[in-house]
Amino acid sequence: MTTATPRTDSPRTEEHRPDESGPTQPRQNPPTFLNDPYPTLARMRESAPVSVLHGDGGLRLWIIPRYDDVRAALSDRRFAQDARRAQALADSRFEGVNLGTDITHMLSSDPPDHTRLRRVVQAAFSRKRVEAMRPMVERITLELLDGLDAAAAHRTTLTTTATATVDLVRDFAFPLPILVVCELLGFPPEDRDLYRNWSTAIVTHEGDHAAFRRAVQEMGSYVLAIADRRIRRNDRPADLLTELLAARERGELTDDEIVGMVALLLIGGHETTVNLLGTSCLALLRDPGQAAWLRADPTRMPGAVEEFLRYDSPICMATTRFTTEPVDVGGVEIPQDEFVLLSLGAANRDPARFQDPDRLVLDRQDAGHLAFGGGIHRCLGALLGKLETEIALAALLAHYPGMTLACQEHDLRWRNTMMLRGLEALPVALRR
């Protein structure tokens, strides 16, 4: 959730090579980066172990695109993530750069704070606890499918056409993970559009700092109001917010940290799954043969989800880090106090690690994608996100075996951020 604000329509890169000639001249990338970032990422990966992106306010971001380098950097403590130190560094060198330090959470913290914060919630995402959520995820999925059926029937009546069109992101991929998070936290599911609006303002603000800060303030006030109401009423349901409030009473969390934890769960807990569901469905719509292969044997789904994660990683760039000392990456020295992006999307398409990486292979044997990051900051909700995706895709394939894309693929709109990889909408025609 710690985000910088580089331009995403046509980012400018300088490629750094380990020789005395220095960087090449800036080269314009195609304006379709958001639609398909992989050609640009491939050029970066092939050209040099490190490239440099220049964003708004003069911000310089060093991008690491190769699998081995990204994997090593994910566990390298010299790439720090302390957001307040990062913001102070940015303020001293650049103008008007917002790194998202208004929220305190695990992804924007280094040990010992990171260790303390993660310890409070890690039990809630253990394999046993996540597997216990399976019936809840299945129930929500079936309820959403009923909703799709009702919407399809209504729209068919209105349009007098044989096949109804629905937006699979709006009507299915978004509500599923956000409803799961609502049950996990004990938050009102009817407020899910609020959560989505805050999430969009925070992760895709693209220089609109006022909208970012307003979303952070509104979310903070909302979370603390729910917490205060529970304390006044002595209301202690068996959910994660109750556990967070108990940790506050033990002196393990502050109010700001509770807000940050909830924000991370509300935003991080649904963004990855929304994006993954959207891109996975699109991949299957492109290739009905692979959809039929999955439908024929649902036990193949866990392996397929791992491949969806690799093929179109829902997080294209990991959260911004900065160097605490000079770091050598493939013969290129990144100086101290420089901002760094680790390209998970580029790493997961690296031909040095994966055979035929630009092809979706649902029974791929060369596992090891980095879609959930690595090291101490590896995504805490990885198991839950995979469970949600496995259940949702299996249900969709069984329920709508004839589903097709209801627009030209080039007309699809993608999230306006280089950090995430996700669809704004996915119009589909529902066919049984």
Q: Tell me, what amino acid is at 92?
A: S
Which pLDDT belongs to residue 21? 34
235: helix, strand or coil: coil
Give the pair of three-digit tokens for residue 138: 């299945």
Q: Are 284 and 397 in contact (CB under 8 A)?
A: yes
Local structure of residue 366 (DSSP, 8 states): -
Interval 99-150: pLDDT, tens: 765 677 888 889 999 999 999 999 999 999 999 999 999 999 999 999 998 8
Interval 203-221: pLDDT, tens: 775 556 788 888 889 999 9
Helix, strand, coil shares of the chain as percentages rounded to 5? 55, 10, 35
Give the pair of three-digit tokens for residue 56: 């708004």
Give the pair of three-digit tokens for residue 109: 């913290």
Q: Which helix (H) or strand (E) holds 47?
A: helix 38-47
Local structure of residue 334 (DSSP, 8 states): E
Which pLDDT belongs to residue 2? 37
Interatomic CA distance for residues 141 and 134, integer angstroms: 10
| Mean pLDDT of all residues in 392-406 | 95
19: helix, strand or coil: coil
Interval 25-43: pLDDT, tens: 334 444 478 889 999 999 9
What pTM value is reported for the model? Answer: 0.88
Interatomic CA distance for residues 393 and 405, integer angstroms: 15
Opening angle at CA 143, ends 187 and 287, nearest 5 = 115
Specify whether the backbone of 366 is left (phi greater than 0), alpha (psi in -120 to 50) or beta: beta
Which residues share a beta bridge with 54? 12, 60
15-37 b/e (C-beta count within 10 Å ≥ 16 → b): bbbeeeeeeeeeeebeeebbeeb
| Mean pLDDT of all residues in 57-64 | 87
Q: Are 194 and 214 in contact (CB under 8 A)?
A: no
The separation between the first and the last C-alpha atoms of the chain, rounded to the nearest angstrom, is 39
Interatomic CA distance for residues 230 and 228, integer angstroms: 5
Nearest to 282 by CA among 406, 419, 177, 152: 406
Which pLDDT belongs to residue 159? 58
Given a cut of 70, is residue 263 above it in pLDDT?
yes
Interval 51-60: pLDDT, tens: 998 876 678 8
Interatomic CA distance for residues 172 and 278, integer angstroms: 9
Given a cut of 70, is residue 1 above it in pLDDT?
no
Interval 371-380: pLDDT, tens: 999 999 999 9
Give the pair of three-digit tokens for residue 221: 């006030």
